[in-house]
Homo-oligomer: A and B are copies of this chain.
């Protein structure tokens, strides 16, 4: 049964992908533990990108619409998915949420997944890029302890760099562990609070969006 759920999800994810490409959207699937700073990073990203790259957001949580409200206040068009007891987003949930999202002028669509370092790894949503966050407060060994999700990362973002000293963050070990599991993913080290690393991150997203125009939209 799990096999057929995943097969169905993979088909619907490809349909989403075709839709996203036809609309010229750069789509991120943002994954991390609960409380790694996904929403704070996105809020600051939306604020800084401003009119350079208009952002739409789909946010998944078991309960509450706190995150969609926070991101809406930052200037994004935002839709909340509440999953109840489901531990991950699926392609079909994203497709349904898209119906509620005004995509006029939107170039970047960010899907903030349920906070979970395990299950969302198995569910393609049709995204261009998986962004996996690791907060400095979580410990340097997380890439080794949750390998599937870090292996699937297109980009890794180390968050809460402002807390690095207070929690004795060992940068060399963390980066080495990321490299072992996600060898080819670019790594950004960011504090959304102080702004450290935010310019490089936003420039990266703008470049990725521009690069879409030079790609065959159906990726063939």
Contacts and interface: CB of A to CB of B under 8 A. Distances in A.
Interface of A: 1-2, 33-35, 61-64, 66, 85, 87, 114-119, 121-122, 135, 137-139, 141-142, 144-148, 160, 163, 166-167
B33 A145 contact: no
Copies, count: 2
Given A34-B146, A160-B167, 13 more contacts: A34-B145, A35-B137, A35-B138, A85-B118, A87-B87, A87-B118, A115-B146, A116-B116, A116-B118, A118-B119, A135-B137, A163-B163, A163-B167
30 contacts: A1-B2, A33-B33, A33-B34, A34-B117, A34-B138, A34-B145, A35-B135, A35-B138, A35-B139, A35-B142, A61-B145, A62-B118, A62-B147, A62-B148, A63-B144, A63-B146, A64-B141, A66-B141, A66-B144, A85-B118, A85-B148, A87-B87, A87-B119, A114-B118, A115-B146, A116-B116, A118-B119, A137-B167, A163-B167, A166-B166
A144 B69 CA distance: 15
A61 to B, nearest CB: 5
A34 B135 CA distance: 10
A1 B62 CA distance: 22
Contacts of A163: 137, 163, 166-167
A169 to B, nearest CB: 11
Contacts of A147: 62-63
A147 B62 CA distance: 8
Contacts of A121: 85
Looking at A33, A35, A138, A147, the one whose CB has the most chain B CB atoms below 10 A away is A35
